[in-house]
Amino acid sequence: MLYINGEWITDGNKMDVINPATGKVIDSVTIGGREETKEAITHATEAFKTWKNIPGAKRGRYLATVVKLMREKREILAETITRENGKPFSDARGEVRSAIDYLEWYAEEAKRLYGDTLPASQVDKHLMVLREPIGVSAAITPWNFPLSMITRKIAPALAAGCTVVLKPASQTPLSAIKVFECFHEAGIPKGVVNLVIGPAEEIGKEMTSNPDVRKLTFTGSTAIGKKLMRDAADTVKKVSMELGGHAPFIVFEDADIDEAVTGVLLTKFKNSGQTCISTNRIYVAESIVEEFGKRLAQKTAELRIGNGMEDGVDVGPVINKGAMEKIAAQVEDAVKNNGKILQGGNIHKPEEGSGYFYEPTVIQYATEEMQIATEETFGPVAPIFPFSSEEEVIEKANHKQYGLAAYCYTKDMGCGLRMMKALEYGIVGINDPAPIVIQAPFGGVKESGIGKEGGKYGLEEYMEEKFVSIGMK
C-alpha cells in the first residue's frame, strides 16, 4: 500500500512479504515507482507551505496523538515486526517502545525551536538567527529496525516543520504501513507524510534528483549511502547518512569477565547480530583470553534459537538466505585461517518450515587476515582476538573504514578515559553495552555516516539557520 496526500493506494503491482522464520509469504503489498514518488514529493512540497507555519506546539500535539495510538496498538505493532523481520517478540516489543519514545521526545521538542539574537557590531543594527525547517525530506530506512528507524527520522522532521516522503525496506514494509495508519488516524494534514513502497533504485533516483527534495536521510549500507550522496550532490541536498559499522569490544585484563561476557551477549546476539552497532571484533587481553572464550561459549550455548513468536526464544532468524550464506562463508574463511569454533558454526535447520537461521557462534584465535576482521558480518558470530598492550589494541580497534560504535571494559578509570579519547567512533560505551538513549546523538564517523539522530542533535538535521541583519537608521 502506498500513502500519498492522505490517501491509501491499493491498486497496482504487488510485492510479497516473507517471514524469515518460515520462508513463507505472509502478505502482499501494493508497490509504486518513480511516478508515485514524484507525485508524493509534489504533495509534500505543497503541504510544506502550511505545515512549516503551524506553531511547533501544535505540530507536537499531532505527534502526541500518534504516540497515543501507537501505545494502543503496541502488541500488533510488535507482532508485525516479528513476523516480517524475525526478531524475538520481546525484542520487537522493545523496538515499539523505542519507536514511540522518539515520537514522544520530538512531540515535546517541537515547542522548543529557538533562534538566536547576536550582539551587533554597530549600534544601528539588529542581528538575528532564525532556525527554519529545511523543506521536503526524503527518508530511506532499513529492515533491521523496521519501526524505530522510521520514527527516529519522521518525528524530528515533523517537529521541525518539514514534510516527508518515506521509502521503507522492501523486506519489511508492513511495520511502515502500520505506523502510517497511526499518522492517518491522528489526522496529520494531507501531504505531510507520504509512504512509497517499491523498487529502491527507481524511488531513490527520484528522491535524489528532484529539486523539491531539500533533505535526504538514509539508514542502510555504506555502499548505497555513498551512491545516494553522489546522486544527491547534483541538487546539493542536505544529507544524513547512518551507515555500516564494525564495532570493537575491548576487554582489559582487570575487567569483570562475567560482566564483559554479558555485554558481548547483548551486543552480539540481539537481533541475530543484525544491528549496525553490533559487536564485530572482540579484543581480549592475552592473560584472560582462554577463560573469556570458555565462559562466552558456555553462555552462548544457552541461547535458544527459533521462531521469534515462540516463548523463550533469544535468537531469531537472519533476514534472508543471502544473509545466511554470507555468514556461513565468513565462518568458513575464519576456520580456514586457523580460527577455532568454540560454539555453533553451522546453519541451523528449524524443525518446521525452512527459515534462515545461523547458530550463535563463538570463534577463538581470530586474526586480522580473516574476512570477519574487516567486513561487516550482520550475523550472530563472535570472533575473539587476543591482544597484549593498550597501544596494540587501540591501533587494531580503530577501523580504517568504519567508526560507528565501540565498547570497552576495564575497572581502571584512567584506562577507560584514555580509550574514550583514542577510539575513533561516534558512540563509545565504557563498561556499558547499551550506550543508546533518545537524548544522545546517534551516528558514526568516517564511512559510518554523516549527521546524527536523537535528542536536540536529530532536530538540527532538519533545520537551517537564516541570518537576518536589520539596519535601524
Known catalytic residues are: 242, 276
204 binds ligand NAP, rule: CB under 6 A? yes
39 binds ligand NAP, rule: CB under 6 A? no
List the beta strands (DSSP E) in 1-53. Answer: 2-4, 7-9, 14-19, 24-30
Report the half-sphere exposure of 212 (CA within 13 A, side-chain side): 18
Sole window of 118-126, 175-183, 241-249, 342-350 interacting with ligand NAP (rule: CB under 6 A): 241-249
221 binds ligand NAP, rule: CB under 6 A? yes
List the beta strands (DSSP E) in 311-418. Answer: 340-343, 347-348, 357-358, 361-364, 381-387, 402-403, 405-409
Query: What is the number of the residue whose Cβ is closest to ligand NAP?
Result: 204
Q: What is the DSSP letter of 346?
A: S
Task: Indicate the residue among 85 and 144 with the shorter CB distance to ligand NAP.
Answer: 144
Q: How many residues bind ligand NAP (CB under 6 A)?
A: 28
Of residues 357 through 376, those in contact with ligand NAP by CB under 6 A are: 376
What is the distance of C-alpha 121 from the center of its chain? 44
CA distances 196 to 42, 63, 242, Å, are 13, 21, 20
Give the orientation angle of helix 257-269 with respect to helix 289-301, to 10 degrees.
50
Task: Indicate the residue among 60 and 379 with the shorter CB distance to ligand NAP.
Answer: 379
Minimum distance of ligand NAP from residue 405's CB (angstroms): 9
243 binds ligand NAP, rule: CB under 6 A? yes
Query: CA dihedral defined by 209, 211, 212, 218, rounded to 10 degrees?
Result: 40
Report the residue from 200, 329, 468, 470 that binds ligand NAP according to the rule CB under 6 A: 200
Task: Indicate the residue among 90 and 221 with the shorter CB distance to ligand NAP.
Answer: 221
Sole window of 106-114, 163-171, 341-349, 387-395 interacting with ligand NAP (rule: CB under 6 A): 163-171
Of residues 244 through 263, those in contact with ligand NAP by CB under 6 A are: 244-245
Report the residue from 45, 217, 219, 410 that binds ligand NAP according to the rule CB under 6 A: 219
Residue 296 has which C-alpha cell?
A: 562466552
Q: Which helix (H) or strand (E) holds 449?
A: strand 449-450
Q: Judge contact between 409 and 431, C-beta under 8 A.
A: yes
Minimum distance of ligand NAP from residue 167's CB (angstroms): 6
Binding mask 137-156 for ligand NAP (x = CB under 6 A): ---xxxxx------------
CA–CA separation, 54 vs 260, rounded Å?
A: 49
End-to-end CA distance of the chain: 58
Minimum distance of ligand NAP from residue 170's CB (angstroms): 3
Q: What is the DSSP letter of 403?
A: E
84 binds ligand NAP, rule: CB under 6 A? no
Which residues have C-beta within 8 Å of that of residue 55, sequence separation ≥ 6?
Answer: none
Report the residue from 156, 449, 454, 455 that binds ligand NAP according to the rule CB under 6 A: 449
224 binds ligand NAP, rule: CB under 6 A? yes
Report the half-sphere exposure of 333 (CA within 13 A, side-chain side): 18
Minimum distance of ligand NAP from residue 115's CB (angstroms): 29
Nearest to 453 by CA among 463, 464, 465, 438: 438
320 binds ligand NAP, rule: CB under 6 A? no
188 binds ligand NAP, rule: CB under 6 A? no
CA–CA separation, 209 vs 184, rounded Å?
A: 28
Report the residue from 95, 109, 242, 447 that binds ligand NAP according to the rule CB under 6 A: 242
379 binds ligand NAP, rule: CB under 6 A? no
CA–CA separation, 142 vs 369, rounded Å?
A: 30
Minimum distance of ligand NAP from residue 301's CB (angstroms): 27
454 binds ligand NAP, rule: CB under 6 A? no
DSSP reduced 3-state for 407: strand
404 binds ligand NAP, rule: CB under 6 A? yes
Sole window of 242-250, 260-268, 297-305, 327-335 interacting with ligand NAP (rule: CB under 6 A): 242-250
Task: Indicate the residue among 216 and 415 with the shorter CB distance to ligand NAP.
Answer: 216
Residue 122 has which C-alpha cell?
A: 554597530
Which residues contribute to the site for ligand NAP (CB under 6 A)? Answer: 140-144, 167, 169-171, 200-201, 204, 219-221, 224, 227-228, 242-245, 276, 376, 378, 404, 444, 449
